[in-house]
Amino acid sequence: MLKGFYKCEYGFVGDRLMRSVMYVHEGRMLGGNSAFAHDGTYREDNGEIVAEIVSRRHTDDPNYQSLLGQDTGSIDVRGRPDGQFIYRFEGTSPQIPGAVFRSVMTPLEEEPIPADAVGEGGIPNGLYSVHLRTLGVDGDLNGVMLLNDGRILGGDAFFYYLGTYTSSHGRWKGQIVNQEHTPAKGENPVFGGHEVGIGFSGACSDTGAELDAAALAGKRSIRLTAALKLLRRV
């Protein structure tokens, strides 16, 4: 049964390859990368996984081009497991008629959910865009983050995030480990090649959150700020 946290590599046959992260559970598929959030559903049909996924831009930056040629698009795919954990899909998009879309989903790790982590006035469960800024060095990151009852799962085209948090009365705090799922040294020299531990705290509301954080990347200590915007409640 398809479920868990995955790295996705995908593209149209003969075109460039793109990457994202995806959390799959109980018929929902939620994830994304530095510029686009993915929101979809899936079902089983005679041993195959049938999925419909919508991609929407969350970062207004022309450096991040859409695979589908526009800021909102969709794909329809069917797939099967390849071995015990990897899944392979093939399908089409109404935005690019006649083109063949292919993707591979490879599992990543997950963290356990702490008990009673979110209280009254805590940050809502959902899929968020996250825009992280480093202070004093050039190493900013954009991505998506799924918050679910005290667990953090997220990432982008090169990194994935695992962590936990507590939240109540308009505040939240927690810790995240940022790791590579694809080598990123040439793309992001600050975080590339390192497993980065991040501790954070900040304010939250029904629509998003802010945080201040300290990160340790190798031997370098870095101050960070981030803004989260709620894209979809779950």
pLDDT for res 115:
56
Q: Which ranges in the chain belong to alpha helices (H)? A: none
Joined together, the tokens standing for residue 227 give: 């803004």
pLDDT for res 111:
63
pLDDT for res 192:
86
pLDDT for res 113:
63
Strand partners, 202: 172
Taking the C-alpha atoms of residue 73 and residue 75, their distance in angstroms, rounded to an integer, is 7
3 state SS of 4: strand
Joined together, the tokens standing for residue 138 give: 């050039």
Strand partners, 214: 199, 223
Q: What is the pLDDT of residues 208-228, one digit of tens each?
A: 999 999 999 888 899 999 999
Q: What is the pLDDT of residues 151-178, one digit of tens each?
A: 999 999 999 999 999 999 999 999 999 9
Tell the burial category of 58 from Cβ atoms under 10 Å away from its Cβ (0-12, 13-18, 19+): buried
* Residue 42 in this model has a pLDDT that exceeds 80: yes
* Residue 15 in this model has a pLDDT that exceeds 70: yes
Q: What are phi and psi of 50, to 5 degrees?
A: -110, 125
Read off the pLDDT of each residue in 3-24 and give the average, rounded to a whole number: 95
Given a contact cutoff of 8 angstroms between Cβ atoms, the answer to whether 21 and 31 are in contact is: yes
pLDDT for res 191:
87
pTM value is 0.93
